[in-house]
Structure 1
Amino acid sequence: MATLKDVALEARVSVTTVSHVVNATRHVSPAVRERVELAIRALGYVPNAMARSLKSNTTSTLGMLIPNCSNPYFAEIVRIVEDRCFGAGYTLVLCNTDDEPNRQSVYLQVLAERRIDGLIVVSTGPADDDSLVRQLHGLRVPTVLLDREIADPACDLVETAHMQGGLLAARHLLSLGHRRIACIGGPVGVAPSEQRIEGWRLALAEAGATPDTAHADALLWRGSFTSQSGYEAMHAILRTADRPSAVFACNDLMAIGALRAAHESGVHVPDEISIVGFDDIELSAYTSPPLTTVAQPKERIGALAVDMLLERVGGQRRDARKVVLQPELCVRGSTARHASFREAAVPAPVAAPSTTSSRKSRIP
């Protein structure tokens, strides 16, 4: 492996000059810089990242924690974040906590030992987790919270207006004539799930579809943001005596599980039951039928998280910033008018023309 000294010999300059070119620590004439860069490429020299980090007190490395790498929503966000990091000259270290608070704690310690310059966190556990707040303060690096807010005023935050998304989903179903609308929520205490459920409740209350919270909770099932949990919840919903005509699942994976359960039960979507998801993962456009969903602006979420973090890393901003983006409803084939609406919309039959009409038939 080529060394700094090898590059200096190849370029016919001093080791100090090569160091200045590599680390951009002093002006070097264009002619000398070109010789050094040619030598670096010819020898395949790779600068020692550890040595450079010790000199600059930075590592050009960012960390990211996500709860579940098998969830396509997080996978799509990670791809956007990684692309943005790469374009800015940063390496991303990704850790999957598997929704385990203890694992999250261990990974935060690992990232601290790697001397990352900044951190993006999609938290695991409830929003009021004091242990996570204490550990983030101990890291002493700029931190951006993504998707899930926690009680830490020192962190930046970028997320979607989850309650507004729940409102969009439920109002869409109400506009189609559905009155009995079930909800498959996520884990108890996880902020995005609770906020989406709150939006669903509020929309039903606005429309007078449920007279009080107790009646709304009778239509609430819980899942774990996985396809399996949506599948199991939907089977339970379909077994109820007073079956709802529509279901709002608080993420697309649970909605996809619900679609399969309906298919297995011989319940046609959307003619017999309508289903709405949340996230707009790429797969949602390819289900059968294609899934109506609340779209999160993933490109903007990922790009903003990196940009906000680099502002803090570069010292351009010190005060915490909070950005809440608006979701959009993406209507596809998994929702349709309630049967009563469809019947009301059927036009009266047209009378057959009289056989005694005076109009003559045209014979070709």
Structure 2
Amino acid sequence: MKKRSQIITRKKMTMAQIAEVAGVSVPTVSKVLRRQYDGSQATRERVEQILLEHGYLDQRALQRARNGEKTAVCLVLPLLESSYELEILRGVDTGLNEINHHLILIKRSNEPTHAHQWLMQLSDTALNGVILVFGDQHHAQVEDTLQQQHLPFVIVDHLSELGPTVPSVGINNFAGGRSAVAHLFSLGHRRIGIITGPLTLACARDRLAGYHTVLSEEGFPVDSALIRHGVFEEAEGIKSGYQEANALLNLPDPPTAIFASNDTQAIGVYKALFERGIRIPQDISVIGFDDIPIASQMLPTLTTVRQPLFEMGRTATSMLLRLLENKPLDSTRVELPTSLIIRQSCAKSPL
């Protein structure tokens, strides 16, 4: 435990300070850290020793690199269990397989106070770069640490606002939410319930904004009773979908359609409707968001807004590889289009 605390303390030394001690430039330190330095062996070994002493490398990772083993790309995920994350993982893995790179997975804690624990793991192997999938809005510490280490990174589907220089790939959540509600309006639905994600998350707020926009454009006032707040995580998302659907169904004037802000919530909505003997879509329509694999296997199959998760992972990988090659990005922010996937869970309003 004493050795670990010493490493954490030493790691506070910045890349600029390490460069000064080593008598080299910051870019040189960065190249040594990423195994891309092609200068003198003496300089490389001197910088490596200082990086070891201050926690940027460990002895095992350094020995693997000196033995000629390939460096790797790290994918950091918040849960390592959801269908949502697995689709992103497939995209990243496919992109790396095309160039024969290793992929390392790290599960990160959503607690900002635990960030140093998994950030330390990033120094335990010879990494080229990092792809991060954030499950919350606590990302500033991570960005600062990676930038201090001059370790290239790309953020996938951020759930809160990012700076203009942070490389990221995601979707237009506002447009996706708007298309879901507009589809229900086209079927004659006027009382449309929505189950949001946590409104601390930008994606949840944007999907709700899409809902508000359609109502405004159609000249219908917003009924706050039709807006329920849930969560996105897999198990808790199903539970919140179930609970909030029951709350909507208990209204004196219940909705004829429900927009679940992700597909796991929609699973919970299905359960609530099944228990009450309410038929989908004859009695009520349901629409989701994400198009995770199970959406096409539900009965009836779920109409949903497709978030191109596989393509997001693959695009993030392409962006990171450009950064590793010191090539400029066409844009630091890439937004992929959503698409409405019409299946069996929506029909004309029964009213």
Q: If the TM-score is normalised by the length of the shorter chain, which range does it land in?
A: 0.7 to 0.9
Deviations 1:192-212 (A, max 9, x none): 2121111111111111222xx
Alignment of 1:146-225 (within 5 A): 146-148=156-158, 150-210=161-221, 215-225=222-232
Classify 1:150/1:138 alpha carbon distance in 2 versus 1 (closer, same or farther; 3 Å).
farther
Distance (whole Å) between structure 2 residues aligned to residue 173 and residue 264 of structure 1: 23
Give secondary structure in 2 for the equivalent of 1:277. Answer: strand
Distance (whole Å) between structure 2 residues aligned to residue 319 and residue 113 of structure 1: 32
Give secondary structure in 2 for the equivalent of 1:289. Answer: coil
Check the 8 A contact 1:276/1:291 in 2, yes or no: yes
Structure 2: gaps spanning 5 or more residues:
1-37, 39-59
Check the 8 A contact 2:130/2:154 in 1, yes or no: yes
Give secondary structure in 2 for the equivalent of 1:112. Answer: coil
Q: 1:68 aligns with which of 59, 65, 79?
A: 79
Cross-structure match for 2:287: 276
Classify 1:150/1:63 alpha carbon distance in 2 versus 1 (closer, same or farther; 3 Å).
farther
Q: 2:151 aligns with which of 141, 144, 148?
A: 141
Cross-structure match for 2:272: 261
Alignment of 1:9-28 (within 5 A): none
Check the 8 A contact 2:290/2:305 in 1, yes or no: yes
Q: 1:234 aligns with which of 238, 245, 254?
A: 245
Check the 8 A contact 2:256/2:350 in 1, yes or no: no
* TM-score normalised by L of structure 2: 0.76
Check the 8 A contact 2:260/2:289 in 1, yes or no: yes
Check the 8 A contact 1:154/1:320 in 2, yes or no: no
Code of the aligned partner of 1:190? L
Post-superposition offset of 1:318: 6.5
Matched, 1:121 2:132: yes
Code of the aligned partner of 2:204? S
Distance (whole Å) between structure 1 residues aligned to residue 260 and residue 214 of structure 2: 15
Higher Rg:
1
Deviations 1:206-257 (A, max 9, x none): 11222xxxx3443221111121111111111111222111111111111111
Structure 1: gaps spanning 5 or more residues:
1-24, 26-47, 341-364
Give secondary structure in 1 for the equivalent of 2:228. Answer: strand
Check the 8 A contact 1:122/1:145 in 2, yes or no: yes
Q: Percent identity?
A: 32
Structure with the bigger RCO (C-alpha within 8 Å, sep 6+) is 2
* TM-score normalised by L of structure 1: 0.73
Matched, 1:53 2:65: yes
Aligned CA-pair RMSD: 2.4
Classify 1:145/1:193 alpha carbon distance in 2 versus 1 (closer, same or farther; 3 Å).
same
Give secondary structure in 2 for the equivalent of 1:133. Answer: helix
Report how many aligned residue pairs link the two structures: 288
Check the 8 A contact 2:168/2:334 in 1, yes or no: yes
Matched, 1:299 2:310: yes
Code of the aligned partner of 1:336? A
Distance (whole Å) between structure 2 residues aligned to residue 104 and residue 272 of structure 1: 47
Deviations 1:302-323 (A, max 9, x none): 2111010011012122686211
Check the 8 A contact 1:180/1:209 in 2, yes or no: no
Distance (whole Å) between structure 2 residues aligned to residue 271 and residue 102 of structure 1: 49
Cross-structure match for 1:356: none
Post-superposition offset of 1:258: 0.7
Q: 2:340 aligns with which of 329, 339, 355?
A: 329
